[in-house]
Structure formats: C-alpha cells, structure tokens
C-alpha cells in the first residue's frame, strides 16, 4: 500500500484493434492502493489556450475535498501543495504531467492545494471530488508564491489567470485548518491500479 498522501496513478488499459478500455475509478481497486473515499461530484473544464493556469485551490472543512484528476484531451502539469499544519513537508509541492494519451491520474487528498497549467490547446480536465462545491469554504493560495516555488512550465508571456487566481493570498500568515496525518509528502512514484 502506498503511504504517500498524493499519488500518481496509471489505471490499466485493455486494448485491441478497436482501441482501448479503462476503469478510471473502481472503489475496491483504488482501496487496494490506499485510496479510500467516496466521490460525490464530477467536474470538467476546457481551457482553449496553452498556459491557462487554474489554482492553487482547496476547500476548507467541513467541505474539504479529496480529488482524483485526469486529463481527457491534451496535456497538463498538475500540482499538489501540502497545507497540513505540523507536516514536515508543509508548503512543499509535487507535480506530474497528465496526458490524455497516457491516462495518468493524480490523487490529491484533502489538506493539499491543487492546481494545473495546460500545455496544449483545447485541453480538457476532469476530476472527482469527495465533497460538493461549497462557496463558503472555497479558498486558495497564490500560484506564484515564492515560499512554495512551484516550477510551472509556462509560456514566455506568462500564464492566463482568472481574476480570483490573480489575487489569492500568500502562504505566509495562512492559518491552516488541516491537520497532519503522519504521512509526509514524498516524490511521486507511479502506482498501477491492480
């Protein structure tokens, strides 16, 4: 069982001359690699232009969200930042490229901020969440916070941002509502769903 709280996952694809089939979510199979949650909402975004950056977002308790993210068309660089108070990896990040072609997924548990930048035109991203969207719990951290230092692969002209993402607060002074569960963030290793 993987003890890393953030996991890069590659579900098995079954292919033949027609194409392929994949189970993108199977509760029992994901539980076998340590992911145990009940998803209650699916989200789907399309970003027309490469360099569109969405993040770094999270929901506060009591509506904190686990997320299972995948790219349906194009490619993204997907990031998770540890926001768990008392964690030895607080403010550290991990990231991975997710592609429609490869089928990779990133599991981001509650207690982590999440964001991605698109790498191709017309990129589509879908993700499952373990809590419904609750505007009163919606929160974020600056995408370019120097205390976090995410290595975003950005175009020369910089990212395309929403108004909300231009004005997110810095990590310094953030009073995290998330507790540390004893599992420090580790570099991403790939897990194949059994």
Residue 21 three-state SS: strand
The one-character DSSP state at 85 is: B
| Closest-CA residue to 14 (of 23, 27, 26, 4) | 23
Half-sphere exposure of 165 (CA within 13 A, CB side): 18
Q: Which residues contact 138 (CB under 8 A, 6 or more apart)?
A: 57, 59
The one-character DSSP state at 48 is: S
The one-character DSSP state at 24 is: S
> Would the CA dihedral through 26, 31, 37, 38 be positive or negative?
positive
Positions marked active-site = 57, 127
Q: For the chain, how many residues are written?
A: 194
Q: Which residues contact 120 (CB under 8 A, 6 or more apart)?
A: 50, 74, 75
């Amino acid at each position: 069982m993987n003890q890393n709280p953030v996991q890069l996952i590659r579900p098995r694809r079954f292919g033949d001359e027609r194409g392929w089939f994949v189970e993108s979510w199977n509760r029992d199979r994901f539980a076998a690699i340590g992911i145990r949650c009940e998803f209650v909402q699916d989200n789907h975004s399309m970003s027309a232009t490469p360099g569109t950056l969405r993040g770094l977002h999270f929901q506060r308790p009591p509506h904190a969200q686990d997320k299972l993210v995948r790219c349906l068309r194009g490619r993204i660089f997907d990031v998770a930042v540890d926001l768990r108070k008392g964690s030895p990896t607080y403010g550290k990040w991990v990231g991975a490229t997710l592609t429609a072609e490869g089928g990779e997924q990133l599991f981001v548990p509650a207690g982590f901020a999440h964001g991605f930048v698109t790498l191709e035109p017309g990129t589509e991203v879908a993700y499952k969440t373990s809590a419904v969207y609750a505007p009163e719990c919606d929160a974020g951290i600056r995408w370019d916070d120097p205390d976090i230092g995410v290595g975003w692969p950005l175009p020369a002209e910089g990212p395309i941002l929403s108004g909300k993402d231009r004005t997110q607060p810095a990590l310094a002074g953030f009073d995290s509502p998330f507790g540390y569960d004893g599992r420090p963030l580790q570099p991403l290793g790939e897990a194949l769903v059994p």
